[in-house]
Amino acid sequence: MMTCFDIGGSTIKAATADPTHPTDLAPLGRVKTPLDDLEAFCTAIERQVLAGGASASAPLAISVTGVVDPVSQVVTCANIPCIDGLALAPHLEHRLRRLVFVANDADCFVLAEALAGAGRGYRVVFGAILGTGVGGGIVVDGRLHAGAGGLAGEWGHGPIAATSVGTPPLSIPRLSCGCGQVGCVDTIGGARGLERIHLHIWGKHTASTEIIAGWLAGGEQEARSVEVQIELMADPLALVVNIIGPDVIPVGGGLGTVRPLVERLDHAVRQRILRRLDRPLVVPAGLQGDPGLVGAALLARVT
CA–CA dist 61, 284 (Å, integer): 25
**pLDDT confidence of residue 166:** 82
Parallel/antiparallel/unpaired status of strands 67-68 and 74-76: antiparallel
Whether residue 193 sits in one domain with residue 163: yes
Distance from first CA to last CA of the chain, Å, rounded?
16
Least confident of 10-24, 60-74, 277-291: 10-24
Q: Please report which helix (H) or strand (E) contains residue 293, including its range.
A: helix 291-302
Of 185, 194, 284, nearest in space to 239 by CA: 185
Same domain, 168 and 252: yes
Q: Is residue 176 situated within a structural domain? A: yes
Angle, alpha carbons 119-120-121 (nearest 5°): 110
Residue 34 and residue 40 in contact, taking contact as beta carbons nearer than 8 Å: yes
In a shared domain, residues 166 and 262: yes
Q: Are residues 170 and 249 in the same domain?
A: yes
The 10s digit of each residue's pLDDT in 29-85 is 999 999 999 999 999 999 999 999 888 889 999 999 999 999 999 999 989 999 999
Domain coverage including residue 50? 2-108+290-302
**Do 126 and 227 lie in a common domain?**
yes
pLDDT in tens, 79-134: 999 999 999 999 999 999 999 999 999 999 999 999 999 999 999 999 999 999 99
Are 218 and 71 part of one and the same domain? no
Same domain, yes or no: 239 and 128: yes
Q: How many CA atoms lie within 13 A of 282 on its CB side?
A: 32
- 171 lies in a domain? yes
- CB–CB of 183/161 below 8 Å? yes
For 124-171, write each residue's pLDDT tens digit: 999 999 999 999 999 999 999 989 999 999 999 988 889 999 888 999
**Residues 169, 76: one domain?**
no
20: how many CB neighbours lie within 10 A of its CB? 10
CATH of the domain at 141: 3.30.420.40
Statement to judge: residues 80 and 149 lie in one domain: no
Whether the CB-CB separation of 142 and 295 falls below 8 Å is answered with no
Same-domain status, 129 and 277 = yes
125, 272: one domain: yes
Distance in angstroms (rounded) separating the CA atoms of residues 277 and 227: 22
Q: Is residue 191 part of a domain?
A: yes
135 and 251 part of one domain = yes
Tell me if 115 is assigned to some domain: no
Q: What is the pLDDT of residues 214-256, one digit of tens each?
A: 999 999 999 999 999 999 999 999 999 999 999 999 999 999 9
